[in-house]
Amino acid sequence: MNINSFLHWVIDQALGGNNIDAWELQDKAAECGLLKPVVATEACGEHCYCQTLEKMSGFTFPINCYKKTEWSKE
């Protein structure tokens, strides 16, 4: 897990005037170990990343869904 890399990336995007969308954020968070991709064979729940992908983007299950790691849980 590398929170510093994640934070630096977020700050760099902001300083560069880049709009970050939720998908980019999740990908970067996963790359830094803050979220963990798991293969979902059906929707994990309402408003879940995988369900949104299926509904909005036409993906079909199985879909990589991001889950919080121990670090990012409240």
Task: Point out which residues bind Zn ion (CB under 5 A).
Answer: 40, 44, 48, 50, 65
Select 33 or 61, whichever has its Cβ closest to Zn ion.
61
* Nearest residue to 39 via CA among 58, 23, 63, 59: 63
Q: Which helix (H) or strand (E) holds 65?
A: strand 63-68
Select 12 or 24, whichever has its Cβ closest to Zn ion.
24
Radius of gyration of the chain (CA): 13
Give me the least distance between CB of 71 and Zn ion, in Å please: 19
Instruction: Please name the residue ranges forming H helices in 1-74.
Output: 3-15, 22-31, 49-57
Give me the least distance between CB of 65 and Zn ion, in Å please: 3
Give me the least distance between CB of 11 and Zn ion, in Å please: 28
Select 5 or 26, whichever has its Cβ closest to Zn ion.
26
